[in-house]
Amino acid sequence: MQSKSESPLRLAKAEPAPAERPSRLTADHVERNPGTALDLDIVRSLRVNRSAVERRAATIPTRRTVKKEWQAAWLLRAISLIDLTTLAGDDTAGNVRRLCAKAAHPVRADLLAALGMSDVPLTTGAVCVYHAMVSTAVEALRGTGIPVAAVSTGFPAGLSPLEERVREIRASVAAGAREIDIVITRGHVLTGNWQALYDEVRMFREACGDAHMKSILATGELATLGNVARASMIAMMAGSDFIKTSTGKEGTNATLPFSLVMVRMIREYHERTGYAVGYKPAGGIRSAKNALEYLYLMKDELGDRWLKPDLFRFGASGLLTDIERQLEHFVTGRYSAAHRHPMV
């Protein structure tokens, strides 16, 4: 791992590092991030060395590897971190119910038995749906403990009137969503209107109430890694519980360089405030191999504590199928067809 002096993210000014605040993070509890006042000096001083980021990101798949039973264990952990998602125009109540059933029983019972996991509760981290399907998902998941996450605020573009976006959040919370994935206005980032971005996200956080808020930055539309860093920091200052890469609808979604910048900002924010913020890469993560790369990144950059569902999620729809296929290969030595592991 690089030393801090070699970090691809740095403050522009040669200012002293802030004294680290006592962490409000324990092994079993994450104290919710209340946000801070907007500090434009911090935001404007952020710089990103793109070449260094890309070099570091390129090493992530090669610096660490896990095989055999260790790989199976990591993949079982990855399942618990998935926000199992359906965000299609042809979603129906039946599809959502079947997805919820899969979330509650993500791996076939015979595979769990072969892995010695029959007595270990295993579910996905959440089920993520449009607002119209929140009540259906809540009912289907009743008694499982699996939260429903609703995409909101005019997802995916986030360009509907502000009042409508706030009402949508409140409606999803009232319907039973315990997590809200909001989208920011990309134009605020592209024009450097940091105060407007902060005020918007702060308003969304207030509308969420007790529901946890994940702020989607749409990193593929922010033009530069510097903008990704600044948007990440402002979203956390405004009280985000998670920061998330993408809606999954952009041309470029989650990538390791975007992720490296965002998790470094999470580390910076934790050191400054003591509050731990979660991370959610989303969009295009479909293979078990790719999922492991993100787990390596989190372990290297933030440590084991960020490998639990309260601080890390995958936004994915097809990832679970490939993970289950890899687990079957570990058990039987053969790869099965994808249709043997149906999502819905």
**CATH no. for residue 242?**
3.20.20.70
**Banded pLDDT at 19 (limits 50, 70, 90):** low
Q: Is residue 326 pLDDT above 90, yes or no?
A: yes
**Mean predicted confidence (pLDDT) in 318-325:** 95
Residue 228 lies in a domain: yes
181: annotated active-site residue: yes
**Banded pLDDT at 239 (limits 50, 70, 90):** very high
**Mean predicted confidence (pLDDT) in 52-72:** 93
**Mean predicted confidence (pLDDT) in 190-216:** 98
Full residue range of the structural domain in which residue 274 is found:
38-65+125-311
**Mean predicted confidence (pLDDT) in 283-311:** 96
Residue 51 lies in a domain: yes
Residue 44 lies in a domain: yes
Spatial separation of the C-alpha atoms in residues 284 and 96, rounded to whole Å: 21
Q: Can you list the pairs that 192-200 forms with residues at least 24 positions away whose Cβ atoms lie under 8 Å?
A: 194/38, 194/40, 194/43, 194/230, 194/234, 195/38, 195/40, 197/231, 197/234, 197/235, 197/238, 198/38, 198/234, 198/237, 198/238, 200/162, 200/238
What per-residue confidence (pLDDT) applies to 328?
95
**Mean predicted confidence (pLDDT) in 148-169:** 97
What per-residue confidence (pLDDT) applies to 337?
81
Active-site residue identified among 83, 181, 241, 322 = 181
pTM of the model: 0.92
**Banded pLDDT at 20 (limits 50, 70, 90):** low
87-141 confidence digits (pLDDT tens): 999 999 999 999 999 999 999 999 999 999 999 999 999 999 999 999 999 999 9
**Mean predicted confidence (pLDDT) in 196-221:** 98
Residue 163 lies in a domain: yes
Q: Is residue 222 pLDDT above 90, yes or no?
A: yes
Q: Is residue 265 pLDDT above 50, yes or no?
A: yes
Residue 16 lies in a domain: no
Tokens of 215: 């702020």
What per-residue confidence (pLDDT) applies to 276?
98
**Mean predicted confidence (pLDDT) in 294-321:** 96
What per-residue confidence (pLDDT) applies to 6?
44
Q: Is residue 76 pLDDT above 70, yes or no?
A: yes
Residue 91 lies in a domain: no
Residue 224 lies in a domain: yes
**Banded pLDDT at 18 (limits 50, 70, 90):** low
**Mean predicted confidence (pLDDT) in 301-330:** 96
**Mean predicted confidence (pLDDT) in 293-310:** 97
**Banded pLDDT at 14 (limits 50, 70, 90):** very low
Residue 9 lies in a domain: no
Active-site residue identified among 214, 241, 280, 322 = 280
280: annotated active-site residue: yes
Active-site residue identified among 83, 214, 244, 322 = 244
What per-residue confidence (pLDDT) applies to 341?
73
Q: Is residue 293 pLDDT above 90, yes or no?
A: yes
What's the structural domain count of the chain? 1
**Mean predicted confidence (pLDDT) in 135-148:** 98
102: annotated active-site residue: no
